[in-house]
Amino acid sequence: MASACSTAPPPSRTASVSPHLLAPPPMLPQVARTAEGAMDGRQCLSSALDLYDVAGGIRGAMIELQREVGMRLP
């Protein structure tokens, strides 16, 4: 008796997603500190802005992924 189950592998769930959106997220920047390990206001602001830039890039990639998925839904 033949089986009704397919032996073909299931299609990849990421096959049609833009490759640049499947890349791992960028590394978070190092927090600026003095040689003693302290942080002044300028270093704090600079580090916060660097972190905000990386987070914005990650958010942008997520929005683009959501857009691509939305285009494929009926």
Question: Within 10 A of 70 (CB to CB), how many other CB atoms are there?
Answer: 8
CA angle 65, 68, 72 (to 5 degrees): 135
The contacts of residue 39 (CB under 8 Å, 6+ apart) are: 31, 32, 33, 47
Question: Model-level pTM?
Answer: 0.58
pLDDT, tens digit (0-9, with 9 covering 90-100), for 7-64: 766 656 666 667 766 777 778 888 888 889 899 999 999 999 999 999 998 898 889 8
Write down the domain spans for the chain: 39-74
SS3 48: helix
Scan for tokens 């890039």, then name that residue. Answer: 57
Cα–Cα distances (Å) from 69 to 8, 13, 74, in that order, read 24, 11, 10
